[in-house]
Chain A
Amino acid sequence: MTTVLSSRLGQVARAGDGSADIVCDKQSVAGSVSQRACTFCGSRVVLYPIADALHLVHGPIGCAVYTWDIRGALSSGPELHRLSFSTDLRERHVVFGGEGRLEDSLMELIERHHPSAAFVYVTCIVGVIGDDVEAVSRKVSERTGIPVIPVQSEGFQGSKRQGYDAACEALLRLIGTGSTEGIGKHSVNLLGDFNLAGEIWIIQEYLKRMGVEVVANLTGDGRVADISRAHGAALNLVQCSGSTTQLAKDMQKKYGIPFQKVSYFGLDDMAGALYGIAEHFKDPEMLARTRDLVAEEISQVLPVVEACRKDLEGKRAAIYVGGAFKAISLVKALRLLGMKTALVGSQTGNAEDYRYLRDLCDPGTIIVDDSNPSELSTFLAEEKCDLFVGGVKERPLAYKLGVAFCDHNHERKLPLEGFLGMANFAREVHASVCSPVWQFAPRFQSANPVEV
């Protein structure tokens, strides 16, 4: 059976084969059963964690239902983001237009929940029926006195990536509207961290110990007021590069704020991120504090990693995740556990990400953009992988074949960021790869006959 469609051949390569760049950042091939969602999804996942905003999905119910509480993004205060609001368009609105419905919905929900701002997500159908969402938003904003911000995220516009851009545009409309008074010179914004399982709190704690002030979280545990003064920070830290690099670039242009790309996954990348920050501020004391912090944290985590590594050494892993930057950190983290990455791919990587992956991975590693179950399941079996790291849609593929799995997705309940996160990751990988249940999986069954 055909595994890779001819129209997708340019999106699959192997490290070390010296061929051309991977084709990426384009609409999924029709009928390819892509693992990737739409523009709306991209916007929704980025903005979702802003906890004191109203997130109203303007469209029929599906888009809102499937993104209800979609991320394990925790809030230290309000939890408005965890409700699923929809204008729930019906046939008559599609015929006669949904502007009235949108206006009434906004007024009603703002009165009921008193949010600090409202985001209106424009879905496929609204793009087609042509509601003037901008005008309705302006009107409601005037009446209620809070920012009401349209997010131009019609699903058909492009892929998830275009949704990131739409989200960044929406954020830019908030940034710069607040006062920057009282912000110190060692200050940062956290971009592209969504506080899954409280991860942002771990990072904030490190920064606090270093003496760095966090102005705004974009967007994990985010607040409208903080975001409105984000332009006062001295440095932007961009973690999920796919989703917020554009925002960082725009802020650099508009407000002169430099940015650094960081990753908080794995010991190397986590330590590298903190050192990079300390170096940026050119403060020797901060650098010394950072050194102490890294040494202390690593000494706590290493024993766990070493213990897991004993059993994991030499095992083979596959990675398929949303963002390519995350994939890069995962390759390194798995290496730390003694594992070899046989397959790595992402939904939204760009040419630069894939070039980096090709250099990073051992020769022969399969690198793939915008993959699908047919390809992934074939590679998984052919490459004899012992572990798959991915999200909800990848999990059953692994399990069906009797392959261990580690959830590295939006919904996870266990923090994987920070030094502590590496220990969690090691434990989770170990728990799955070393589970005795695999002996019953058909692919292993004949290998381990028990003598009775």
Chain B
Amino acid sequence: MSTTDLRAAGTTSSGAVSESTTNACRMCMPLGASLAFSGVEGTVPFLHGSQGCATYIRRYLISHFREPMDIASSSVGEDATVFGGESNLRQGIVNVTTVYKPKVIGVATTCLTETIGEDVGSMLRRAVDPDTGLAREFSVEPPILVHAPTPSYAGTHADGYQAAVASTVATIATEGETTDSITLLPGIVSPADIRHLREITDGFGLPTTIMPDYSERLDGVTVARYKKLPPGGTPVDQIRATGHARASVTIGGLTTPGVTIAGEVLAARFGVPHHQVPFPIGIRLTDAFCDLLTELSGNPMPEWLLAERGRLVDAYIDGHKYVAEKKAAVVGDEDLVVGLSAFLAEIGVTPVVIASGGRSGKLAERITACAPELEGRVEIMDDADFTMIQKAAEQAGIDFMVGNSKGYRTTRDLGVPLVRVGMPIHDRMGAQRVGHLGFRGTQELFDRIANALLEKQQNESPLAYSYM
């Protein structure tokens, strides 16, 4: 069944293609931008729009990361909607600067300000201009101001994330003498994943700037005195240096045509060689990532990583029968879904339904490239919502789902386990610590999947067995 058929399956008797979305499988662009800005040292994310978006996005991200997350808003009201929001934007920047003393304010627009046609780029230029700027009007020296255009109707949170990363490097990176450092640009991954990526590049002896890096800011420690700006994040100096790094590596980065990703910006502006790899999940894709690091560093895979790889192969073999010939649904951001599908394929699970709310148009192509054995055997849906996903999963018959918390209703209806990955994870502890990447992340996923299946089998067995 094609995506169009699935849409039609839930539509009016006239057979029209579905117009509405029920239980969306994606979030909006400003959310992604806020997340990306959170990974830059000393940054306060700032949404130019009405108050609600910022509050909602904070609430949503807080329930996932369980960390304080301050996102400012220009609180555009009725007047500003009619007459323009520049004074709100300026006042907002002044207030954030006064209270937080940030190094950077990451301004993302919302659907409202995009549609009323605010020229935020010019406004920010005026805000830092010696004659028209905030220093003159308010005696407040603004920090670095970054602007990411993120009209929520133009893309998903993943697109907003890429847009913010790209704007940040475009604003801050500078020319200079080439360093021996590389810039690693991961897509939306967990704080645990970021920490693991750091270990891996360290293992290859590669000086690396990870951008953004919210591993500390969104997975921090308890403190005696509250810090309004949580410590951590990619240092601004290092972002400056991405303009003259030896290379940049984008992990993931399936994009809509509207978003030029940071690696491409750095290549076009400063001639920094750009490499792109899929999310390293599973042995094949992690090997591919490690091969690239070997190429860039001249060093082989470090011993400890090789050992992790060995243990993973061992675990695959020990557990293969429990997962063999099972059917899964995989749901999440496009980059994640590509990696997960390739991983499932290599352990003998068929991801019969592969779905994302993303709409890059490149999902099927990427999956075929990463896991050619799946071609023709699976349903690949982009721009999907959970109504479509549930229908497809029912039709295909699945043994489990790998996806975020929002898939819970579907798995509950189908009576199958949900292995929680990606974002949002709102109904379990530890979203920050779910590992997805590298041999270690894969090991975690493999164990969780096998155990979920074993638990179901055990619970449903008439024997209260405790040995297998």
Contacts and interface: CB of A to CB of B under 8 A. Distances in A.
A380 B55 CA distance: 21
Q: Which of B80, B98, B153, B406 has the most CB of A within 10 A?
A: B153
A142 interface: no
B75 A392 contact: no
Given A27-B75, A34-B51, A87-B19, A128 B95 contact: no
A151 to B, nearest CB: 14
Q: Which of B58, B59, B73, B223 has the most CB of A within 10 A?
A: B59
B405 to A, nearest CB: 11
A156 B12 contact: no
A93 B153 contact: yes
Given A91-B154, A156-B50, A62 B98 contact: no
Interface string B77-92: 1101100000011011
Contacts of B415: none
Given A30-B92, A32-B72, A91-B154, A399 B222 contact: yes
Contact of B111 (A125, A373, A378): A125
B20 A33 contact: no
Interface string A428-447: 00000000000011110100
A114 B274 CA distance: 53
Contacts of A35: 55
Contacts of A29: 75, 91, 95
Given A125-B111, A128-B81, A157-B78, A31 B24 contact: no
Interface string B262-286: 0000000000000000000000000
A51 to B, nearest CB: 16
Contacts of A378: 226
B115 A111 contact: no
Q: Which of B26, B50, B101, B116 has the most CB of A within 10 A?
A: B50
Interface residues of A, number: 81
A401 B222 contact: yes
A31 B95 contact: yes
Interface in A1-27: 1-3, 5, 7, 27
Contacts of A101: 19
Interface string B329-354: 00000000000000000000000000
Contact of B16 (A108, A159, A441): A108
Contacts of B59: 66, 392-393
Contacts of A39: 52
Contacts of A27: 51, 75, 77
A107 B31 contact: no
B93 interface: yes
B224 to A, nearest CB: 4
Given A374-B100, A400-B222, A85 B62 contact: no
A399 B429 CA distance: 14
Contact of A396 (B28, B68, B228): B68
Contacts of B74: 30-31
B401 interface: no
A25 B92 CA distance: 19
B75 A28 contact: yes
Contacts of A443: 224
Interface stretch (A53-61, A249-257, A325-333): A53-61
B466 interface: no
B80 to A, nearest CB: 7
A156 B62 contact: no
Interface residues of B, number: 76
Contacts of A62: 27-28, 30-31, 53, 56-57, 111, 152
A60 B152 contact: yes
Contacts of A64: 21, 24
Contacts of B78: 156-158
B395 interface: no
Nearest to A444: B224
B68 A36 contact: no
Interface string A88-105: 111101100000010011
B143 to A, nearest CB: 13
A377 interface: yes
Contacts of A155: 50-53, 112
Contact of B220 (A107, A112, A400): A400
Contact of B51 (A37, A128, A393): A37
Interface in A26-80: 27-41, 56, 59-68
A351 interface: no
Contacts of A442: 222-224
B222 A84 contact: no
B153 A94 contact: yes
Contacts of B439: none
Nearest to A396: B68
A66 B101 contact: no
A397 interface: yes
A402 interface: yes
A372 B52 CA distance: 14
Contacts of B94: 31
B367 interface: no
A105 B19 contact: yes
Nearest to B359: A90
B67 interface: yes
A94 B153 CA distance: 8
Interface string B132-172: 00000000000000000001111000000000000000000
B402 interface: no
B44 to A, nearest CB: 8
B194 interface: no
Contact of B99 (A1, A60, A61, A93): A1
A264 B63 CA distance: 28
Contacts of B58: 393
Interface string A167-204: 00000000000000000000000000000000000000
A372 B66 CA distance: 17
A129 interface: yes
A227 interface: no
Interface in B223-251: 223-226, 228
Contacts of A288: none
Contact of B226 (A2, A41, A401): A401
A94 B58 CA distance: 26
Q: Which of A5, A104, A108, A158 has the most CB of B within 10 A?
A: A108
Q: Which of B49, B76, B99 has the most CB of A within 10 A?
A: B99
Given A88-B24, A156-B77, A396 B70 contact: no
Given A29-B95, A125-B112, A396-B62, A40 B52 contact: yes
Interface in A295-327: none
Contacts of B299: none
A85 B20 contact: yes
A31 B92 contact: yes
Contact of A90 (B18, B46, B63, B153): B153
The 4 closest A-B pairs by CB, nearest first: A38-B52, A31-B92, A62-B28, A31-B95
23 contacts: A5-B95, A30-B95, A31-B91, A32-B99, A33-B54, A33-B71, A33-B72, A33-B96, A34-B54, A61-B26, A65-B28, A68-B24, A83-B22, A86-B24, A94-B115, A104-B19, A125-B111, A128-B115, A157-B77, A377-B228, A378-B226, A400-B222, A441-B222
Interface of B: 10-13, 16, 18-24, 26-28, 30-31, 46, 49-60, 62-63, 66-78, 80-81, 88-89, 91-96, 98-101, 110-112, 115-116, 151-154, 220, 222-226, 228, 406
Interface of A: 1-3, 5, 7, 27-41, 56, 59-68, 83-91, 93-94, 101, 104-105, 107-109, 111-112, 124-125, 127-129, 155-159, 372-374, 377-378, 380-381, 392-393, 395-397, 399-402, 440-443, 445
